[in-house]
Amino acid sequence: MALEIDLAGKRALVTGAGQGVGRAIACALGEAGATVFVNDVVESRMDEAVEEVRRRGGRSQGMPFDVTDWTQVQASINGADGLDILINNAGNAGTEGFADLRPFVETQPDEWDRFIRVNLYGVMNCTRAALPGMITRTEGRIVTIVSDAARYGDAYIAPYAGAKAGAAGFCRSIAREVGRYGITVNCVALGTVRTPTTTREGDPAPESQKSDETLKRYIIRRRGEPEDAAGLVAFLASPMASWITGQTYPVNGGYTLSL
């Protein structure tokens, strides 16, 4: 058995792929031979990611839609003429990342919605739109990017952690429903990854004192890079992972450990 990820002929959608982890995943899938649909709500970022996939020898095109808008999601995915791979990467921790850490009792319900709509409903919308075609073809791969916050229960980010945990639970349920059709559904739980949303612009050492203290809890004493996640996602999207489903795999430098 050749240990080479071959996605030739596969059609993959990566949501939130304009930057960071999503862009790295899109590039990895393109390099493995898939035709990659790059989604992002910011079209300039989306276009840049499409060009990067192409520069690396992949085939790619943009697919602009808001994952929280079911009508947009359904129309866009239905227009893709069938997806073999769905990567639910779009997510948020607020427009300024985790800069504003507060006890849950100091938050208000209207603050929770932004996390739930993207991190949970966005995953549900895209999965619902992609599944019928996968069921018809009796084949498919769904990989959802969640967070170690969902596994560990980090303090002061409860709405975000709850939404990510909800997405992981949703994916386990879907894995049970669609395994009979040859569809696998898995999650990748990330620790702190260096991306534009976790980096302060203009700061050559983009870590706050508080985040430096957090970093000491990592066995591998560095932040992750987007490419650290991309390889595992590409593997889970490949034929080599055809008997792996319903799982959540940490990519976190040892922040949390699993049996």
> Active-site residues: which are they?
160
First and final CA of the chain: distance in angstroms? 27
Can you tell me the distance from the alpha carbon of 121 to that of 75, in angstroms, rounded to the nearest whole number?
Answer: 16
Q: Report how far apart, in Å, the C-alpha atoms of 191 and of each of 6, 15, 254 are.
A: 27, 19, 9
Judged by DSSP in three states, 188 sits in strand
**Token pair for residue 139?**
């084949």
Nearest to residue 99, comparing CAs of 162, 156, 153? Answer: 156
Contact yes or no for 60/38 (Cβ under 8 A): yes
Contact yes or no for 141/236 (Cβ under 8 A): yes
Question: φ, ψ for residue 38 (rounded to 5)?
Answer: -100, 120
DSSP 128: H
Nearest to residue 29, comparing CAs of 196, 236, 191, 242? Answer: 236
Nearest to residue 253, comparing CAs of 227, 207, 226, 217? Answer: 217
Can you tell me the distance from the alpha carbon of 27 to that of 60, in angstroms, rounded to the nearest whole number?
Answer: 9
**Token pair for residue 86?**
């769905």
Can you tell me the distance from the alpha carbon of 40 to that of 46, in angstroms, rounded to the nearest whole number?
Answer: 5
